[in-house]
Amino acid sequence: MAIARDRDGRGAGGGAANGTADGASVGLVVVTHGGSGACLLSAAAEIVGVIEAAASIAVVVGEEFSDTLRRVAHACDGVDSGAGILILVDVHGSSEFQACLAMVDGTRPVEIVCGINLPMLIKLATVDRRGLPPAAIADILKEVGKRSIRLGSELTGKIVTHAHPGESR
């Protein structure tokens, strides 16, 4: 059963966030500036259904790093059923990323992917989270995320003739 998570990563509505009774599955934690992570999970749910064993953490401007770290750890604990954790974070190098990086402490399998986008979450719905480790799932999502970033001119074959000042094409 999936649980919608609030700002602190606590479940809203009760139940377990540890996947189904069939076995352990890789848990998902989405960590973003503001509420964009929850919005992405919601959009994915409308397209492919609810993503099980998932939590989102919305980090607000001015939040103490120790609070972010505590909330990310709490969310990881809440979705971990023993198969490990996949963390999707919005910006590499950010405080949010640094808090996620602290979860890679050797106590359980964890992988982090920076630059979350909706195609990654849609793909996650079709990935075997019970049979693959977090690192393998992360590799799949990284490639899907990269392939989904396209320029309209690439898709239409039309050439863009204007360049921004200081840039060359």
**Structure confidence at residue 169 as a pLDDT band (50, 70, 90):** low
Is 159 a residue whose pLDDT tops 80? no
Q: What is the pLDDT of residues 92-136, one digit of tens each?
A: 989 999 999 999 999 999 999 999 999 999 999 999 999 999 999
Q: How far apart are CA 169 and CA 164, in angstroms?
A: 9
Residue 46 contacts residue 26 (beta carbons within 8 Å): no
Strands 85-89 and 27-33: parallel
Strand partners, 12: 4
Q: What is the pLDDT of residue 155?
A: 84
Q: How far apart are CA 128 and CA 166, in angstroms?
A: 46
Q: What is the pLDDT of residue 26?
A: 98
Domain boundaries, the chain: 4-156
Q: What is the pLDDT of residue 60?
A: 94
Burial class (CB in 10 A: 0-12, 13-18, 19+), 33: middle
Assign domain 4-156 to its CATH architecture. 3-Layer(aba) Sandwich (3.40)
Q: How far apart are CA 117 and CA 77, in angstroms?
A: 23
Residue 51 contacts residue 44 (beta carbons within 8 Å): yes
Is 15 a residue whose pLDDT tops 60? no
Q: What's this model's pTM, rounded to 2 decimal places?
A: 0.80
What backbone torsions phi and psi does residue 110 show, to the nearest 5 degrees? -140, 140
Residue 40 contacts residue 30 (beta carbons within 8 Å): yes
